Amino acid sequence: MTNLRALKSGTDVRGKALGDGAPLTAEVAGRIGGAFVAWLRKRGVDNPRIALGRDSRLTGEMLLDGCAEGCRQAGARVECYGMCTTPAMYMSLITEGFSCDGAVMVTASHHPFDRNGLKFFTKDGGITGRDLDEILTIAESDEALLGGSDPIQKREFLPVYCDQLKARVQKGLDTDVPKPLLGLHVVVDAGNGAGGFYAKLLEDMGAWVEGSQFLEPDGRFPNHVPNPENAEAMQAVSGAVVKAGADLGVIFDADCDRAAIVDASGREINRNRLIALISAILLDKKPGATIVTDSVTSSGLARFIMEWGGVHYRYKRGYRNVIDEAIRLNEAGIDCPLAIETSGHAALRENHFLDDGMYLVTVLICEAMRLKQEGKSLSDLLEGLKEPKESVEIRLGITDEDFRTAGRAAIEKVMEYAAFAPGWHIAPDNREGVRISFGLDGEMDNGWFLLRLSVHDPVLPLNIESDVEGGVKYMANALYKVLANAEGIDLGNLEKYIAQ
């Protein structure tokens, strides 16, 4: 039997699903799907209804069918929505007329075409890593095999989700006209994932979408990786926008929970720029709000958010960590409308704190339309965002078998050194690993590094940014001297960078 634990990736199941010996098979998907049903039953759902959808991957239909059958055999009533997006699968749980008890999305996000996976939702949102451990424990037994007789139903939810996005456009532009986007030219790049329908949605709302590309689902992803962080993918949409003379372009990952945009000049608006843009839009409407991001955001972004009247709150990497912290802050009485990770996962309070790339882009398109009517553009909102001259990420391998202990020891070593070293300043909002800021060339706080322990892998990711030339290498050298004798840490990649 497949080692199910080896398929766990954070809160998802993920693994190779295509080719000889691929561990993620229809049978495995069925076993895990049935376990999800049994897990829901343990949580008090007596007669579970389960919704399933998939992205465009070659193995998507096979795994969806296998998972659906496993859910049925575990006694659930099963609805299959076919090609869908991850955010739409969650929305199906809280939409009148659908309202299942749990949902499963068959996707591996931006990962290679031979990979696939399963994402799980309840009406409370995505499950936790601990929840998945419980589901896998059930899957390793025969506890879920109760038998079921209800036939699997095929339904469509994507048109309903599209209507929800269209309603958001009308709300955002404060109008009930059927084509409120007339005059706006948007290029859509779906990367052959599940999001190609968005071009027609925009066209239905009046937008011009000439130049849109890779809209047809193709699980081989033949044109570029569907990933808003991928340089080749961003170059592809940038080139298409410039060629078409569009106002902006949008790009999604395969299951559309992440997105990025480019402006009319083809400039990429992702990572820190994307965070700055949506933060400016929200803070313009309500100053004083707190913006929760992951830990690797730049110092320039923190200053930008402050200048727009907001509070920048850095937290641990991992989109669930960022979202959960934003929810906690709101429950504590802190006004927090946004949780966003530099990878493009963005969750708005107005949208149930669901990380929905398509919803985010819809909000940005509304603002682009409003600004165009004033003779402005989205890029105007980014004026004042100071970006680093240099930045790099270096991954330090951990060779010790107990990699978490070795990684924490290395971080503690840096913390102890920084506490007394001249020019080393431990960041006051240090919530993950150790973030050290430097004053380079006589200035203040114009360089920093963050050393943290990877969530899943035996790796210490090191992010370094500098506002002055040569600053990154200076900080890399300084850190190397501190870690030179750290046990169980492979400094080879850091040595290679310094030697360049």
**436 pLDDT above the threshold of 80:** yes
Work out the average pLDDT over 340-364. 96
Work out the average pLDDT over 422-451. 92
For the chain, give the percent of residues with pLDDT over 70: 98
Give the chain's mean pLDDT: 95
Work out the average pLDDT over 96-105. 96
Give 32-46 pLDDT, tens digit per residue.
999 999 999 999 998
**144 pLDDT above the threshold of 70:** no
Segments of the chain assigned to CATH 3.40.120.10: 4-156, 161-382
Q: Which residues on neighbouring strands pair with residue 51, listed in sequence order?
A: 79, 103
- Residue 458: count of CB within 10 angstroms of its CB: 19
**452 pLDDT above the threshold of 90:** yes
**142 pLDDT above the threshold of 90:** no
The predicted pLDDT at position 145 comes to 63
Right CATH number for 161-382 from 3.30.9.60, 1.10.260.40, 3.40.1350.10, 3.40.120.10?
A: 3.40.120.10
The predicted pLDDT at position 1 comes to 64
**284 pLDDT above the threshold of 90:** yes
Segments of the chain assigned to CATH 3.30.310.50: 390-499
The predicted pLDDT at position 10 comes to 86
DSSP code of residue 443: -
Work out the average pLDDT over 155-162. 97
Work out the average pLDDT over 431-444. 91
Task: Name the nearest CA neighbour of 382 among 302, 308, 273.
Answer: 273
The predicted pLDDT at position 148 comes to 67
Give 194-232 pLDDT, tens digit per residue.
999 999 999 999 999 999 999 999 999 999 999 999 999
First to last CA, the chain: 47
**131 pLDDT above the threshold of 90:** yes
**192 pLDDT above the threshold of 70:** yes
The predicted pLDDT at position 449 comes to 97
Q: Which residues on neighbouring strands pair with residue 438, listed in sequence order?
A: 447
DSSP 206-248: T-B-TT-B--S--BT--SS-S-TT-HHHHHHHHHHHHHHT-SE
Whether residue 192 contacts residue 159, with contact meaning beta carbons closer than 8 Å, is answered with: no
**368 pLDDT above the threshold of 70:** yes
Right CATH number for 390-499 from 3.40.50.720, 3.30.310.50, 3.30.70.20, 3.30.420.40?
A: 3.30.310.50
The fourth-level CATH superfamily of domain 4-156 is: Alpha-D-Glucose-1,6-Bisphosphate, subunit A, domain 3 (3.40.120.10)
